Structure 1
Amino acid sequence: MSFKLLSFAAAAAMALGLNAAHAAEGELVIGTEGAYPPFSMADANGNVTGFDADVGNMLCDKLELKCRFVVQAFDGLIPALNAKRFDVIISGMSITDERRKQIDFSVGYAEFANQFVAKKGSDLAGITDIEALKAATDGLRIGVQGGTTHAAYVEKNMPNAQLVTYDTLDQMQIDLSSGRLDASFSDLSAQEDFLAKPEGADFALVDVVIDSTSDATLGEGLGVGIRKDDTELKDKINTALCELVADGSMGKSSETWFKSDISRACQ
């Protein structure tokens, strides 16, 4: 490539406010789980839909880039990001201090509640107090998705529970419905999705809502995961996210997928 062509490519990248690695192909490559409805669902052809896909596509529109999604198991997202398999993570990922040791995050753009699901009529199902819930989990098999804040929360706050981790939400729900678990812990939207299925008919939410203010392990809301050295990309994403929240686009998407506005104003 001639010097003129190199200079043109560099100028184009600067115009987008992104480094050349991101702008070279005119696309933003996004890592997402693809198996966590309604955040992220991938079909057999790799097409991704859900709230995470909406966030990614809205960001790409703002940055005037094409989106390309890469499906990756949740607990492998951060290693894959740092290995430069993709540019950012958008996968319902909560901002936590532990994750900040490995990657950087955008501003928080959404937050959600978390709840347990247990068999109807069980001792857990009737609990309404968080301390009683913690005590009641002693010796019980609690299902969580591996690598999540839910796993960290149970491990820290319910040390006498038998923590059972799964690669995907579907695997956890299969074991719950078949009686191999006493309860599951996840975000409210995922739990409601399970309860709406035929296999969730005999289960109910435990009436204790656990939000991100309850414990540091649950993080500071959802953020876009970014490599620590991608400061220009982070700045552009932050600007775009704040605009999407302010103009109502983020809230409109969350209403579609969650039937409520989980968007979070920039702080």
Structure 2
Amino acid sequence: MFRSSQKRAARRLSLVGAALVSSLVLAACGGGSGSSGSTAAAGGDSGATGLNAAGTLTVGMNLQFKPEMYLDDAGKPAGYDVELLNKLAADLGVKLDIQNLDFNGLIPGLQSKKFDMVSVGLTATDARKQVIDFTREYVPYTSVLAVKQGDTTAATVDAYNTPNTVITALQGSSGEQLAKKTFPNAQVKSFADQNAALLEVSTGRANGSVLEDYILAQYQKANPNQVAKAGLPKPLDLGYGSWAVQKGNKALTDKLNAFLCKAQNDGTLKSTYTSVFGVDDFPEMPGGC
């Protein structure tokens, strides 16, 4: 997604103004695929429970980003976010209703109470905070450097930051910007396809590629023994995504934060993340629980 991995005010706006701001603050991640399931009624029970409709948690999503959130072969929602939401619904004792929408319709839909929350790994930027509220972080996005299997370059940023080094990235992604920022002396080459960027590395035409660790893990699974994660002492970047709720809905925000703290402390976030994303490491999450 690839997002600014993952990658993050309190005034009310009129519906027209809010929709305009929303169109500006949503970073495009991709197209949509229509909604599935029923939509919770606007208004409704926004008091003690914080839900639009008592007994149902309606969630806006964009199911296009495997393995975080996607439609499986049977056309059913799957992925890290979906597994967490099922656990959340069970914890709250409510039915889960997932609405699969175009990414750009998520914040406007949340504001107009088409659903109770948005789960798409949004970063809590200042602009977004003007029109919606956020929970604490629930998903980390770790950017790493992929190198050819068996690469013997010293495991330091400086070793790759040379004029003779070629670093690839997905065109228009946060990885591309991160590559330019981290390796300003290297030659950064962008590709329209992530696999093409990694193929340059596996064939020796490039020295490394900047991307998120779970994308690398997916590539390694499909193409074993071609590329590996460089043994740098720390990730190139670490960002987080949060759940979004309607502005001022403290009742629901508090419930979601309580669930996330419990899931973080008891290892649920870690076990779900490492299992679904196919990675060994779970980055440190923000404290405060």
Does residue 47 (structure 1) correspond to residue 69 (structure 2)? The answer is: no
1:6 aligned residue: none
Which position in structure 2 is the counterpart of 1:207? 231
For 1:252, the equivalent position in structure 2 comes to: 271
Q: What residue number does 2:38 align with?
A: none
Structure 2 partner of 1:131: 158
Verify the 8 A CA contact 2:48 2:251 in the aligned structure 1.
no
The aligned amino acid for 1:241 is L
**2:232 partner SS:** coil
Say if 1:105 and 1:185 are closer, same or farther in 2 by CA, change over 3 A. Answer: farther
Structure 2 residue 263 is matched with structure 1 residue 233? no
Distance 1:202 1:44, change over 3 A: same
| Count of aligned pairs | 236
Aligned ranges 1:97-108 → 2 under 5 Å: 100=129, 103-108=132-137
Normalised by the size of structure 2, how large is the TM-score? 0.62
**Aligned residue among 59, 68, 73 for 2:88:** 59
Structure 1 residue 186, shift from structure 2 partner: 2.5
Whole-angstrom distance in 1 between the partners of 2:263 and 2:94 = 16
Q: Does structure 1 residue 157 correspond to structure 2 residue 178?
A: no
In structure 2, the CA distance between the partners of 1:67 and 1:178, relative to structure 1 (3 Å rule), is: farther
Q: Distance in 2 between matches of 1:96 and 1:158?
A: 26
- The Cα of 1:240 is off from its aligned counterpart by 1.9
TM-score (norm 1): 0.67
Partner in structure 2 of residue 4 of structure 1: none
- The structure whose residues are more often strand, as a share, is 2
How big is the alpha-carbon RMSD for the aligned residues of Structure 1 and Structure 2?
A: 3.8
Residue matched to 2:98: 69
Map Cα deviations across residues 172-216 of structure 1 (whole Å, 9 max, x no partner): 125533779844323323312211223x532222222544xx66x
Q: 2:252 aligns to what SS in structure 1?
A: helix
Q: Alignment partner of 1:153: what SS?
A: helix
Q: 1:16 aligns with which of 44, 49, 67?
A: 49
Distance in structure 2 (CA, Å) of the matches to 1:132 and 1:178: 19
Aligned to 1:264: 285
**Contact 2:190-2:197 at 8 Å conserved across structures:** no
What letter is aligned with 1:223? S
Q: Is the 8 A contact 2:144 2:230 kept in 1?
A: yes
2:76 and 2:217 map into 1 onto residues whose CA distance is 23
CA shift, 1:229, in A, is 4.7
Instruction: Give yes or no for contact 2:57–2:116 (8 Å, CA) kept in 1.
Output: no
TM superposition shift of 1:46: 3.3
Residue 84 of structure 1 and its aligned partner are, at CA, apart by 0.6
Q: Which residue of 2 aligns with 1:223?
A: 242
Instruction: Rate the CA distance shift 1:161–1:97 in 2: closer, same or farther, 3 A.
Output: farther
Mapped to 1, the partners of 2:94 and 2:163 lie a distance apart of: 50
Structure 2: distance between partners of 1:138 and 1:243: 45
**1:103 CA displacement:** 4.9
Measure the CA separation in 2 of the matches of 1:230 and 1:83.
16
Separation (CA, whole Å) in 2 of partners of 1:247 and 1:44: 31
In structure 1, give the amino acid aligned to 2:155: T
Post-superposition CA distance 1:117-152 (Å, at most 9, x none): 233466xx7241123334468664322673x5x454
Alignment of 1:104-119 (within 5 A): 104-111=133-140, 113-119=142-148
4+ aligned runs moved over 6 Å, structure 1: 178-181
Aligned to 1:192: 217
Stretches of structure 1 that go unaligned for 5 or more consecutive residues are: 1-8
Query: Does 2:198 match 1:176?
Result: yes
Task: Provide structure 2 residue ranges, at least 5 long, that are not aligned to the other structure.
Answer: 1-42
